[in-house]
Amino acid sequence: MYLYKQKLKDGDTYLAIKEKYYVPNKGTRERTIEKIGRLSELVKKWMTLFPITHSMQKISLKNPREDPRPEDRVQH
């Protein structure tokens, strides 16, 4: 099984869980196990369910190496 990602014309991404299997004398085929839907709709739903977590994620994405605090700098 794997996560299938397809770029749509409107710039959004469609997600689904797919599986590959073998058919004798025909080769490999794939089937959709679960349709997840559009990524933008998933993000909207996630943000309404967990707004605090989303804010915390924004904070944690900051790279401390790009903006070091003065006390974190090494003095030589």
Confidence of residue 46 (pLDDT cuts 50, 70, 90): confident
> Which residues, 6+ apart, have CB-to-CB distance to 34 below 8 Å?
16, 17
Helix (H) or strand (E) holding 46: helix 39-49
Sheet arrangement for strand 2-7: 2-7, 13-23, 27-38
CA-wise closest residue to 13 among 3, 23, 26, 21: 3
Q: Say what the pTM is.
A: 0.57
Nearest-5° angle of CA 32, CA 35, CA 37? Answer: 140
Confidence of residue 69 (pLDDT cuts 50, 70, 90): low
Q: Between 11 and 62, whose confidence is greater?
A: 11
